[in-house]
């Protein structure tokens, strides 16, 4: 008994940390576990707790050695505190994609996520336990004794895990097969694992790259003498089922309803986050084959258009182009020095200022302009629009969404859609006078949708396979100028209910500009008659 007590004393720091993580940092994990089972099973619930403790302790025992124990545990408590906050507050999963989103988040987006509640989490679950660890006295031992002790601990934990697995074999078999989502909430195991994945990937991707050319055969059709002016609006976080054009009860599209636009009601996104969807829709790889490494090693749709003689411009009021416009003309409209319409933040409408001058300056060739909106980016939906667009009240006026009712969150989000409706109507208004010189078109595609508290899920970025449908069905709008020759408005309306996706954008934009290349797939061009 004395030897066992001494063994526990020697491993007290790691075991205590593992117990702390299990009890105080995994509320979301246990909540989702309870939701997965209609009938509460106390013995299995306890077993899951023991299993989570054992796995956490095992991981800690493998990475914590005498000199590394304190810094590693202190860092994990800080990480675990922030992850616990976002998991508990927004029900998000901190996977590799989410970490990528965090890394690529700009200052303004980061400010939207700041709350005093987050500070409380950081202090209580992060700073305090980190300070306690920093003051802890670790037992001294020879290398041989420390190694022997570690092997004993690992063996004990493996036995403990095996006993739970065998004792509840039927339960665990069902759990791992049917409730895979739950384990993604294990904190800090999943975030740390995801961070390691991201770090390895980033290190690999940081090596010098040779950008493979794409569409070297691309050229404008000799049979087409018209000039084409296309404005592609890349939206942010707009879900299709909150557009009144798609049957939504609230009138969120009062201005677009007066225009000859067609809403693509059944369009699916390439991903559930900007970091995936935006590069994917321009890559030509398709959702099933999309890989960030492949994207970064090759040119994309805009490069192909540029090679074929199209004048390409990217204006951005979001985080950035995610690598799409790296080799093209890029303008950052988050900067008040460039965007002339800024108050508490720079507005999407500022993207249109001076755009006619750009069009007039290019006397020859087709023109494709990409406008990347801030759109409906949450959780601070109230910041995405001015008072002029506050059509639906009461609207949530905080980024702490759990403090707002479902109605208030929905109202705030819907007000952002009203603002987007206005913005798109301004794009159309800009295009109309240009019909005398161009065949004009506006394509609007949001990057992904958004969860607004349905089943306790907020924001976006869930793994695609398990993401709610609201995150995978973004809004998309098509407007064609009066002089557009390929389709009539009646023909365009017949496209509204087609099962489309971001994958269709590649060939559709090639078709709009009458670009001939073997990359063009007429079956994927949703504007082909």
Selected residue with higher pLDDT from 445 and 211: 445
Both 248 and 292 in one domain: the answer is yes
The answer to the question of residue 210 being in a domain is no
Both 187 and 236 in one domain: the answer is no
Among residues 164, 182, 205, which one ends one of the domains?
A: 205
The answer to the question of residue 343 being in a domain is yes
Radius of gyration of the chain (CA): 27
Q: How confident is the model at residue 144 (pLDDT cuts 50, 70, 90)?
A: confident
Both 122 and 232 in one domain: the answer is no
The answer to the question of residue 213 being in a domain is no
**In the predicted model, is pLDDT for residue 151 greater than 80?**
yes
Sequence-distant (≥ 6) Cβ neighbours of residue 501 within 8 angstroms: 267, 268, 269, 270, 287
What b/e string do you get for 207-241 counting C-beta neighbours within 10 Å, with b at 16 or more?
eeeeeeebbeebebeeeeeebbbbbbbbbbbbbbe
CA 280 from centroid of its chain's CA atoms = 12
Both 176 and 79 in one domain: the answer is yes
Both 200 and 223 in one domain: the answer is no
Diameter over CA atoms, the chain: 92
∠229-234-235 over CA atoms, to 5°?
A: 135
The answer to the question of residue 211 being in a domain is no
Q: How confident is the model at residue 34 (pLDDT cuts 50, 70, 90)?
A: confident
Both 201 and 223 in one domain: the answer is no
Among residues 175, 205, 235, which one ends one of the domains?
A: 205
Distance CA 288, CA 270 (A): 8
Composition of the chain by helix, strand, coil, percent to 5: 55, 10, 35
Dihedral angle over CA of 160, 15, 81, 132, nearest 10? 170
Q: What is the mean pLDDT of the chain?
A: 89
Among residues 162, 179, 205, which one ends one of the domains?
A: 205
Q: Are 33 and 133 in contact (CB under 8 A)?
A: no
The answer to the question of residue 481 being in a domain is yes
DSSP label at 474?
B
User: Which tokens is 364 given?
Assistant: 């020859």
The answer to the question of residue 409 being in a domain is yes
Selected residue with higher pLDDT from 204 and 70: 70
CA 444 from centroid of its chain's CA atoms = 18
Burial-class residue 445 by CB neighbours within 10 Å (0-12, 13-18, 19+): buried
pLDDT of 433: 96
Report the domain count for the chain.
2
**Range with lowest mean pLDDT among 101-105, 131-135, 469-473, 486-490:** 101-105
pLDDT of 215: 94
Both 157 and 245 in one domain: the answer is no
Measured in degrees and rounded to the nearest 5, phi and psi for residue 339 equal: -80, 115
| Residue-number span of the structural domain to which 145 is assigned | 2-205
- For residue 228, the surrounding DSSP H or E stretch is strand 228-235
User: Which tokens is 337 given?
Assistant: 């020095």
Distance CA 92, CA 352 (A): 34
Both 165 and 234 in one domain: the answer is no
What are the pLDDT digits (tens) for 61-81?
888 877 788 899 999 999 999
pLDDT of 361: 96
Both 196 and 336 in one domain: the answer is no
The answer to the question of residue 295 being in a domain is yes
Both 353 and 229 in one domain: the answer is yes
pLDDT of 1: 55
Both 405 and 312 in one domain: the answer is yes
Q: Are 138 and 13 in contact (CB under 8 A)?
A: yes
State whether residue 252 is helix, strand or coil: coil
Q: Are 57 and 18 in contact (CB under 8 A)?
A: yes
pLDDT of 487: 85
Residue in 338, 364, 365, 366 with CA at minimum distance from that of residue 352: 338
The answer to the question of residue 428 being in a domain is yes
Q: How confident is the model at residue 318 (pLDDT cuts 50, 70, 90)?
A: very high
Selected residue with higher pLDDT from 300 and 169: 300
Dihedral angle over CA of 513, 518, 523, 529, nearest 10? 40
pTM: 0.79
Residue 424: CATH number of its domain: 3.40.720.10
Both 421 and 498 in one domain: the answer is yes
CA distances 363 to 74, 306, 311, 377, Å, are 61, 16, 10, 36
Selected residue with higher pLDDT from 173 and 338: 338
pLDDT of 413: 98
What b/e string do you get for 166-191 counting C-beta neighbours within 10 Å, with b at 16 or more?
eebeebbeebeeeeeebbbbbbbbbb
User: Which tokens is 24 given?
Assistant: 């105080």
């Amino acid at each position: 008994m004395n030897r066992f007590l001494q063994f526990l004393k020697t491993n007290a720091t790691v075991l205590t940390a593992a117990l702390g993580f299990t009890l105080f940092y995994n509320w979301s994990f246990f909540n989702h576990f309870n939701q997965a089972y209609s009938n509460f099973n106390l013995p299995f619930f306890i077993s899951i707790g023991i299993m989570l403790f054992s796995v956490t302790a095992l991981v800690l025992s493998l990475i914590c050695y005498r000199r590394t124990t304190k810094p590693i545990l202190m860092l994990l408590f800080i990480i675990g505190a922030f992850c616990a906050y976002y998991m508990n507050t927004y029900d998000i999963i901190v996977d590799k994609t989410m970490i990528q989103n965090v890394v690529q988040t700009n200052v303004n987006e980061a400010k939207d996520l700041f709350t005093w509640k987050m500070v409380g989490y950081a202090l209580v679950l992060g700073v305090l336990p980190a300070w306690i660890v920093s003051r802890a006295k670790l037992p001294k031992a020879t290398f041989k004794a420390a190694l022997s002790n570690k092997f004993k601990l690992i063996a004990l934990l493996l036995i403990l895990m095996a006993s739970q697995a065998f004792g509840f074999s039927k339960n665990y078999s069902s759990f791992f097969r049917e409730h895979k989502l739950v384990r993604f909430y294990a904190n800090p195991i999943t975030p740390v694992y995801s961070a390691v994945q991201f770090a390895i990937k980033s290190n690999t991707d940081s090596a010098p790259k040779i950008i493979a050319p794409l569409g070297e055969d691309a050229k404008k059709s000799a049979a087409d003498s018209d000039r084409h002016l296309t404005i592609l609006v890349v939206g942010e976080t707009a879900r299709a089922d909150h557009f009144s054009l798609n049957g939504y009860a609230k009138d969120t599209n009062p201005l677009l309803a007066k225009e000859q636009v067609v809403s693509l009601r059944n369009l699916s996104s390439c991903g559930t986050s900007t970091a995936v969807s935006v590069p994917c829709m321009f890559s030509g790889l398709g959702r099933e084959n999309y890989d960030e490494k492949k994207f970064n090693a090759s040119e994309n749709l805009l490069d192909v258009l540029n090679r074929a003689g199209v004048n390409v411009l990217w204006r951005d009021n979001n985080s950035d182009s995610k690598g799409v416009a790296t080799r093209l003309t890029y303008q950052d409209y988050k900067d008040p020095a460039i965007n002339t319409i800024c108050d508490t933040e720079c507005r999407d409408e500022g993207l249109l200022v001076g755009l006619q001058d750009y069009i007039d300056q290019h006397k020859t060739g087709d023109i494709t302009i990409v406008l990347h909106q801030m759109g409906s980016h949450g959780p601070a939906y109230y910041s995405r629009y001015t008072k002029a667009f506050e059509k639906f009240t009461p609207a949530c006026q905080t980024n702490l969404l759990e403090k707002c009712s479902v109605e208030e969150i929905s109202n705030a989000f819907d007000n952002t859609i009203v603002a987007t409706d206005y913005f798109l109507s301004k794009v159309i208004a800009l295009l109309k006078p240009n019909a005398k010189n161009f065949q004009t078109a506006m394509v609007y595609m949001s990057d992904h949708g958004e969860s607004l508290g349905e089943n306790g899920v907020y924001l976006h970025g869930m793994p695609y396979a398990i993401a709610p449908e609201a995150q995978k069905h973004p809004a998309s709008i098509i407007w064609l100028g009066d002089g557009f020759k390929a389709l009539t408005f009646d023909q365009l309306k017949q496209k509204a209910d087609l099962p489309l996706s971001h994958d269709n954008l590649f060939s559709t934009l090639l078709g709009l500009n009458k670009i001939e290349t073997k990359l063009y797939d007429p079956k994927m061009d949703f504007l082909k008659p």
